[in-house]
C-alpha cells in the first residue's frame, strides 16, 4: 500500500513537471506529421516496470487527443523522461502505430457513406431494443488510435516508415472529392493492407442486471438485421456488447474500454 501511494505521488510530481512540454510536443508532432491542429482529451502519468528494482522503472506520460481532420480521429502518443525533459517513445520505429490513426481516418473518409449506413443501422436496431452507447466522456478517454464514434471504433494498418508516410500519405490527406479518392486508391493499390485490414467494431452496452444469455441470443439475431449494411464496404466487422460497468481506467490490451465481464461478440458483414 505504501509503495502504491509513493508511486502515485511520484507520478503526480512527474506530470506536473512535464505536462506542458508533453502537450506542446504532442501538438507539434500532429502538425508536422499530419498537418492539422488538435485538442487534448487526456493526459496521464504512468510507471513502466521492466524489473523489480527502482532503476528498472520508467516514468512517462500518455497523451490522447482528437485531430481536427475532415473525419476527426483520436490519436495517442507516449512520452518518457529524457534528460531534463520528455521524448516520444514508440514500439514501432517507423511509427506504424501512430500513423495508423490517420490512415484509419482517410479510409473512413473514403467509405464514409457506407460506414455511416452500417453504423446508423446498428444504432437504430440496438436503441429500439433498449441498448446504448458509451457516454461521450468515456469515449474520449479511450486510448484508441483511429476513428471513434457512437457505437463504433474503426481503425486499420499503416506503413512502418514515418518519412514515407509524410511524403506519400500526408499530401493525400489534404485533398478533397475525386482527387482524394483517386490518390487514395493509388495508395491502396501500393499498400493493400490499409484496406484489407480495416476493422470496424460496432459496440453497445447492456444493463448489468440483464441476463447474459438473453443478450448473447439478441446479439446473434442482430447479425441478421445488420449484415446487409455491414457488407457494403471492405474489412472485418465485429459486434461487441459490454456489461454496463466500466470506468475510464479499465482498458484492455488494445487500450479500449473494458467491462468487468466477458464481452459478447460475433463477426458480421462478411
Q: Regarding predicted confidence, which is higher, 175 or 214?
A: 175
Q: Mean per-residue pLDDT for 106-125?
A: 97
pLDDT at position 4 over 80: no
Chain centroid to Cα 211, Å, comes to 29
CB 90 within 8 A of CB 45: no
- What secondary structure letter does DSSP report for 94? T
**pLDDT band for position 257 (cuts 50, 70, 90):** very low
Report residue 133's pLDDT band, with 50, 70 and 90 as the boundaries.
Answer: confident
Q: Are 215 and 257 in contact (CB under 8 A)?
A: no
Q: What's the chain's length in residues?
A: 270
Look at residue 265 in the predicted model and tell me its pLDDT. Answer: 58
H or E element that contains 81: strand 73-82
Q: Is the pLDDT of residue 217 over 60?
A: yes
Mean pLDDT of all residues in 57-86: 92
The DSSP annotation for 108-151 comes to HHHTHHHHHHHHHHHHHHHHTTT-BPPPHHHHHHS---BEEETT
- Given a cut of 70, is residue 215 above it in pLDDT? yes
Amino acid at each position: 500500500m505504501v509503495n502504491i501511494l509513493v508511486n502515485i505521488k511520484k507520478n503526480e510530481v512527474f506530470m506536473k513537471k512535464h505536462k506542458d512540454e508533453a502537450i506542446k510536443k504532442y501538438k507539434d508532432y500532429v502538425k508536422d506529421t499530419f498537418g492539422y491542429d488538435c485538442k487534448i482529451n487526456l493526459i496521464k502519468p504512468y510507471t513502466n516496470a521492466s524489473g523489480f528494482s527502482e532503476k528498472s522503472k520508467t516514468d512517462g506520460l500518455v497523451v490522447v487527443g482528437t485531430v481536427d481532420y475532415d473525419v476527426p480521429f483520436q490519436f495517442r502518443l507516449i512520452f518518457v523522461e529524457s534528460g531534463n525533459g520528455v521524448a516520444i517513445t514508440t514500439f514501432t520505429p517507423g511509427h506504424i502505430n501512430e500513423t495508423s490513426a490517420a490512415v484509419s481516418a482517410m479510409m473512413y473518409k473514403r467509405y464514409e457513406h457506407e460506414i455511416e449506413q452500417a453504423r446508423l443501422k446498428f444504432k437504430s436496431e440496438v436503441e429500439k431494443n433498449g441498448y446504448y452507447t458509451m457516454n461521450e466522456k468515456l469515449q474520449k478517454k479511450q486510448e484508441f488510435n483511429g476513428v471513434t464514434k457512437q457505437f463504433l471504433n474503426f481503425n486499420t494498418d499503416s506503413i512502418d516508415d514515418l518519412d514515407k508516410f509524410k511524403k506519400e500519405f500526408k499530401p493525400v490527406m489534404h485533398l478533397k472529392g475525386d482527387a482524394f479518392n483517386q490518390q487514395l486508391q493509388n495508395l491502396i493499390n501500393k499498400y493493400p493492407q490499409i484496406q484489407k485490414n480495416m476493422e470496424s467494431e460496432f459496440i453497445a452496452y447492456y444493463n448489468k442486471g440483464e441476463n447474459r444469455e438473453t443478450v448473447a441470443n439478441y446479439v446473434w439475431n442482430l447479425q441478421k438485421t445488420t449484415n446487409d449494411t455491414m457488407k457494403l464496404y471492405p474489412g472485418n466487422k465485429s459486434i461487441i456488447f459490454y456489461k454496463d460497468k466500466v470506468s475510464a481506467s479499465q482498458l484492455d490490451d488494445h487500450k479500449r474500454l473494458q467491462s468487468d465481464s466477458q464481452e459478447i461478440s460475433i463477426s458480421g458483414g462478411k
